[in-house]
A = this chain, B = another copy of it.
């Protein structure tokens, strides 16, 4: 049954590799990791804290990361995780492999597909709200971009992805709005 199973690195739990990548970038607590994935990394791998904490403990149990207790400078005590040498090896192997295409789950696009079910003004309002949401996200990425240099190449490129993705989404929203506005009633 499970003979070749868990020798090493074979069965990729995607979240584990994501966390490894995040911690390699910078040591973080579970809380900070969650925030990072939900803010800066929203466009990489969105996840809830209830998935993060157990995964971190497993990674530590596997010896891929280690934790240090840090007194809370502005908050209670927390565990700061960082990647071990073994974790770095695992991570390198994972990074060297190509990815499958990202799995997208965007309901909004399907809503637009059916916009002829709505009165024009309702549809327009919705797409404007969506645009505003992505505009806010774009501004967040632009601010990060402004403080990053080529010395932090990884974070800079991740942020660039955020900028380009949000700009593309906004451009699409504008096209949608324009076409809807021109639509015959």
Q: Mark A residues whose CB is within 8 Å of B.
A: 1-4, 14, 17-18, 21-22, 24-25, 41-46, 88, 91-92, 94-96, 98-118, 122, 126, 129-130, 132-133, 136-137, 150, 153-158, 160-161, 164-165, 167-169, 171-172, 175-176, 179-180, 183
A57 to B130, CA, bound (A): 32
Query: Could you say which residues of chain B place their CB within 8 Å of the CB of A179?
Result: 150, 153, 156-157
Asked if B92 contacts A118 (CB within 8 A), the reply is yes
Across the interface, do B113 and A4 meet the contact criterion of CB distance under 8 Å?
A: no
The answer to whether A153 touches B91, judged by C-beta atoms less than 8 angstroms apart, is no
Whether the pair A103, B46 counts as a contact (CB closer than 8 A) is yes
- Please list the 5 inter-chain residue pairs (A to B) with the smallest Cβ-Cβ separation, ordered nearest first: A168-B168, A102-B106, A21-B110, A99-B108, A113-B154
A-B contact pairs, 22 of them (CB 8 A): A2-B132, A3-B129, A17-B107, A24-B114, A25-B114, A45-B110, A46-B101, A92-B117, A95-B114, A95-B117, A95-B118, A96-B118, A96-B122, A99-B130, A101-B133, A110-B158, A112-B161, A113-B155, A164-B171, A164-B172, A164-B175, A168-B168
